[in-house]
Amino acid sequence: MIQYRSALFVCSGNYYRSRLAEILFNHYAQQAELPWDADSRGLLERVRHEGLSPSAVRYLERKKFEGVEQYARNPQTLTLKDLERADLVIALNREEHEPMMKGRFGQVPSVLQKRGTLRYWNVYDLPGSGGFFKSLLKAGPERSAQEEVSGTEHVDFAVQSLVWELLKQKPS
């Protein structure tokens, strides 16, 4: 029986970036017959959102994912147990998430990083806006269609790159 390894994608609220990364990773890993499975969590203990971000839903529908409603679970908060179980943890934005990780988990993120099981990417929540917290304070219209496409494509590209990297490491 094949032993699956686990990837865990982490963002602030587990509503958009990490959830999209999880869904895309599982899709690409299955297509590539890569023995990995992904999950996702958020660093904030309380979020005001439910389900999956409409931006993520629109992106998945444009990519012809069927049954997008199956991904509509509510955001989940990251725990120490989640970090311990994962073979690889990806925090989607170093600037935003590294201080949050250290604030919640002390030295654990540094230990995981030294082991090579924690990585930070530079995927922003709202391109050019400065991240999740600034987006909460931002007045005016929702993100532009161009920002939305750019953000979702950035997540998609990063996930595809990770799957490719893990495929190259896969024993023949």
pLDDT at residue number 132: 46
Q: Torsion over CA of 44, 46, 49 and 50, rounded to 10 degrees? A: 110
Model-level pTM? Answer: 0.86
The one-letter amino acid code at 56 reads: A
pLDDT at residue number 28: 97
pLDDT at residue number 126: 53
Residue 140 structural domain: 5-169
pLDDT at residue number 141: 42
pLDDT at residue number 121: 96
Report how many domains make up the chain: 1
pLDDT at residue number 46: 84
From the first residue on, what is the mean pLDDT of each consecutive set of 10 residues in the chain (172 residues)? 92 94 96 96 90 92 88 94 97 96 97 97 67 44 51 92 93 64
3-state secondary structure 139-171: CCCCCCHHHHHHHHHHHHHHHHHHHHHHHHHCC
CATH of the domain at 156: 3.40.50.2300
pLDDT at residue number 25: 97
pLDDT at residue number 1: 73
- The whole-angstrom separation of Cα 88 and Cα 83 is 9
6 exposure class (CB count in 10 Å sphere: 0-12, 13-18, 19+):
middle
Copy the structure tokens of residue 56.
């993520």
Copy the structure tokens of residue 28.
């690409």
* Residues 86, 88, 93, 95, CA torsion sign: positive
